[in-house]
Amino acid sequence: MPQDQEPSPAPATWGEEAEAGDRWVFGYGSLMWNPGFPFQERRAALLRGYHRDMCVVSLRYRGTPERPGLVLGLRGRGSCRGLAYRVAAADWRAVRDYLHEREMTTYAYRPRRVGAVLDDGRRVACHTFVADPHHPQYAGHLDLPERVRLIRQGEGPRGTARAYLASTVDHLDDLGIRDGHLHDLLDWVDGARPLP
């Protein structure tokens, strides 16, 4: 999709037409500190079967085609701690369309419904975005030096890829979520430690 082309209206990609009542959205990156939509409840949540990784090349928000950056995506296997937001049924259509416009600008993600466990023990179905391993912007196969290079150079309309990574680490720390991989990656990006 060309960079200046707007995404199409959100299709029923999550199968939500069969749902009634409030919906849940799982955030693992910037949605944790900047959801941008109304919600009724926010809870810490655990998602199994996926892990958080800097694995999507950013060409629009934290990079440009000339200076691509790297942002988060969910990849298969492992687990991920993040935040789940309960959205009122009356707000769902507007929130769904907002999320589609925000996250699907280049279709590097796949909308998914996933099961998550909230910090109070409830199990809920959540809407989230998983990195598409077949998309040209997928970077899960890149080695560590190339990932570090992309994070160091990436800068777009919403800031640098490095600031995005640092903000993610800071917010995870504030939530009591220790993501050692992202801490290590930030150290390598900042030159605080030599690459292994």
Q: Which listed residue (6, 66, 101, 103) is catalytic?
A: 103
Long-range contacts of 58-61 (CB under 8 A, 24+ apart): 58/137, 58/154, 58/156, 58/161, 59/3, 59/106, 59/137, 59/156, 60/3, 60/105, 60/106, 60/156, 60/157, 61/105, 61/156, 61/157, 61/158
Annotated active-site residue 103? The verdict is yes
User: Which distant-in-sequence residues (6+ apart) come within 8 Å of 190 by Cβ?
Assistant: 162
Nearest to 139 by CA among 84, 81, 59: 59
Catalytic residue numbers, as ranges: 103
